[in-house]
Structure 1
Amino acid sequence: MLVNCVAYRRGVKVADIAVEAISDHLDDHDTFVWVALKDATVEELRTMQHEFNLHDVAVDHVVRGNQRPKIELYGSCLYLSMQLVEQAGSSEQPLRMGEVSVFAGPNFVLSVRNHSQLDFLGVRRRTEAEPELLRLGAGFVLYALMDSVVDRYFPVVDFLESELERIENDIFSNGSARSNVERLYHLKRRVMELRRAVAPLREALGELQGPRVPAVAAPVKEYLRDVLDHLSRINASIDSMRETVNTAIQVTLSMTGIEENTVAKRLASWAAIFAVWTALAGVWGMNFEFMPELRLRYGYAMALAVMAAACGTVYWRFRRAGWL
């Protein structure tokens, strides 16, 4: 569906225009057109392709969807694909992933948002409030869209870091190893989803910082460097979380081994104690006729006392060794 179709002249909004009137405004070199689509149909995309003279390959990318974040140049038109990331309702659910494709030419910008409830109305208001920057044309709108997408990664990073801290606080709690491993696995999966959105975009944006910058991005090269810096910070946070999650998983597995070893030592200790009792009981339980202990008046009590003393001594030794 069509969200907005607006013409701007020298950084100032002229009017909302009809799709059929786009080509008329493109003939004016002091004017550029900004069109926003949401969950566009194939027919809408073909209409925009005709109005802006977009390349078939770039349009096919949008039609197929699920594109890796990238920047490609088709003649004078720059094609940008980015992933929109939203935090799910539950900490165990995967992140909600959307997609936005941007076409930026000498005097037009077309953004197509798919599978996401995030909107760019705030971006339009922000750019219209800065006409001196909007005068830079389509390049500044391209920067504003990229900056908005990247800034929305920061709350997701903060949420994932907070979740990681909560798990770390529970790592050394007794009996929580299994649940901690499950939580760490879900967290690691979400971190990897975020990384797949950030790392390719960072790599693609780095190419716009070289000597050969597309004409549409040249006026805002310094602004794009700021977006690249944000992506680098996010990528560093993601790498740090990945390492911490892997370490936490290893620590949790080690804690599981320690707990199992403690249980095994306790079982072995009690088995040894009862083995002493069983051994002594087996000696006096043999059915020999000439056993001197059998005719003692207090033999039974003495046997029990010896057995209890032996077991008590073994228990004290295990207790002192920390096995019980």
Structure 2
Amino acid sequence: MLINCVVYEGGTKLADIPVSEISEHILLPGCFVWVALHDAATEELDELQTEFGLHPLAVEDARHGHQRPKVEEYGSSLFVVLHLLESSEGNESVTSLGELNVFVGKNYVVSVRNRSKRGFVDVRERCEREPGLLRNGPGFVLYALMDAVVDRYFPIIDALEVELETIEQQIFTKGAARASIRRLYELKQRLTLLKHAVAPLLEGATKLHGGRVPQICAGSEEYFRDVVDHLSRINTSIDSIRDTIGTAIHVNLSMVTIEDGEVVKRLAAWASLFAVCTAFAGIWGMNFEHMPELKWRYGYAGAITLIATTCCYLYYRFRKAGWL
């Protein structure tokens, strides 16, 4: 679905135009066209491929989706894939994974947003408020889109850190170890989604500010360096959280083992008490002929007293040792 198709000249907006008039405006000196699509149909991508001369391999990637974040050069044009991580309202935990495909040439920008509800109207407004920077052309628009996507990662990483801290506070709560392990694995899965979005993009974004910078990005290198800096910070935080999660999982598993050991000790203590009763009952239940105590007038009372005394002593010792 077409969101908008706008032509810019010298950093200012000229007009909204239909797709059929794109070829007329991109031939004008100092002009470039910015087209935004949402869940684009095959026919729309084919039409834009014809209008801008987009590389067929890049169009195929955008059509099929589910691509790894990347920055690829096709001659004098760029094709950039970014992952869009979104969360439900009031909850920063990752709930869906979208994708933004950006085609960039010397006189055009085509952004295709897939499986995502949150648009980039604010990015267009920001660019139009800064005509001095927008004068740099499609390269600055690419930076603005990448910067917006990366900035949306920060609330997610903050939410993951807060959730991890909450779980850590409950690690030594009795009986919470098994539930904590499940929450930690769920947290690790969401962190993995973020890692898959950040790490490849960090690798690709470094091409846009150092070494042989694509001509399209000339004049905007320092802005792309800022994006790389943000990605590096997020990537470092991800690695730190992942290490902490691994440590927390080991601690929780140790707590489960300790709790199981406590149960085993209690069962062993009670089994010992019953074993004493069973041992005495087994001895006096053998009915041998020469067992003087069996004919003793106070034999029954004495046996019960001995069993009770022994059990009480063992109970005291187990209680003192912390087994009961």
Fold shared per TM-score above 0.5: yes
> What SS is found at the alignment partner of 1:210?
coil
Q: How far is 1:85 from its partner?
A: 0.5
Which range moves more in the overlay, 47-56 or 89-98? 89-98
Separation (CA, whole Å) in 1 of partners of 2:289 and 2:211: 106
1:131 partnered with 2:131: yes
Q: Which amino acid aligns with 1:300?
A: Y
Closer/same/farther in 2, CA of residues 89 and 170 from structure 1, 3 Å limit: farther
What is the TM-score with the length of structure 1 in the denominator? 0.95
Separation (CA, whole Å) in 1 of partners of 2:92 and 2:212: 44
Task: Describe the superposition over 1:223-255 as per-residue Cα deviations: whole angstroms up to 9, x where unpaired.
Answer: 000001111111111111111111111111111
- In structure 2, the partner of 1:173 is 173
> What SS is found at the alignment partner of 2:215?
coil
- In structure 2, the partner of 1:281 is 281
Q: Tell whether the 8 Å contact from 1:97 to 1:115 is kept in structure 2 after alignment.
A: yes
Separation (CA, whole Å) in 2 of partners of 1:18 and 1:24: 11
Separation (CA, whole Å) in 1 of partners of 2:173 and 2:69: 41
- In structure 2, the partner of 1:107 is 107
Separation (CA, whole Å) in 2 of partners of 1:33 and 1:289: 112
Q: 1:220-259, aligned counterparts within 5 Å?
A: 220-259=220-259
Structure 2 residue ranges without an equivalent (≥5): none
Separation (CA, whole Å) in 1 of partners of 2:37 and 2:23: 17
Q: 1:25-36, aligned counterparts within 5 Å?
A: 25-36=25-36
Q: How far is 1:106 from its partner?
A: 1.0
> What SS is found at the alignment partner of 1:216?
helix
Q: How far is 1:262 from its partner?
A: 0.7
Task: Describe the superposition over 1:145-177 as per-residue Cα deviations: whole angstroms up to 9, x where unpaired.
Answer: 000010011111122222222222222222223
Q: How far is 1:92 from its partner?
A: 12
Q: Tell whether the 8 Å contact from 1:83 to 1:100 is kept in structure 2 after alignment.
A: yes
Closer/same/farther in 2, CA of residues 93 and 15 from structure 1, 3 Å limit: closer
Identity of aligned residues (%): 57
Closer/same/farther in 2, CA of residues 293 and 110 from structure 1, 3 Å limit: same
- In structure 2, the partner of 1:52 is 52
Q: How far is 1:288 from its partner?
A: 2.6
Separation (CA, whole Å) in 1 of partners of 2:309 and 2:231: 71
Separation (CA, whole Å) in 2 of partners of 1:266 and 1:288: 36
Closer/same/farther in 2, CA of residues 109 and 91 from structure 1, 3 Å limit: closer
Closer/same/farther in 2, CA of residues 89 and 174 from structure 1, 3 Å limit: farther
- In structure 1, the partner of 2:11 is 11
Closer/same/farther in 2, CA of residues 92 and 24 from structure 1, 3 Å limit: closer
Closer/same/farther in 2, CA of residues 156 and 92 from structure 1, 3 Å limit: closer
| Count of residue correspondences | 324
Separation (CA, whole Å) in 2 of partners of 1:219 and 1:90: 39
- In structure 2, the partner of 1:191 is 191
Q: Tell whether the 8 Å contact from 1:92 to 1:187 is kept in structure 2 after alignment.
A: no
Task: Describe the superposition over 1:26-54 as per-residue Cα deviations: whole angstroms up to 9, x where unpaired.
Answer: 11221111111111111111111111111
Separation (CA, whole Å) in 2 of partners of 1:20 and 1:283: 103
- In structure 1, the partner of 2:66 is 66
1:150 partnered with 2:150: yes
> What SS is found at the alignment partner of 2:219?
helix
Separation (CA, whole Å) in 2 of partners of 1:148 and 1:89: 19
Separation (CA, whole Å) in 2 of partners of 1:90 and 1:278: 62
Q: Which amino acid aligns with 1:191?
A: L
Q: How far is 1:57 from its partner?
A: 1.1
Q: How far is 1:210 from its partner?
A: 2.5
Structure 1 residue ranges without an equivalent (≥5): none
Separation (CA, whole Å) in 2 of partners of 1:15 and 1:93: 39
Separation (CA, whole Å) in 2 of partners of 1:271 and 1:258: 20
What is the TM-score with the length of structure 2 in the denominator? 0.95
Which range moves more in the overlay, 72-81 or 143-152? 72-81
Q: How far is 1:277 from its partner?
A: 1.9
Separation (CA, whole Å) in 1 of partners of 2:281 and 2:90: 60
Closer/same/farther in 2, CA of residues 90 and 12 from structure 1, 3 Å limit: closer
Closer/same/farther in 2, CA of residues 89 and 249 from structure 1, 3 Å limit: farther
Closer/same/farther in 2, CA of residues 269 and 282 from structure 1, 3 Å limit: same
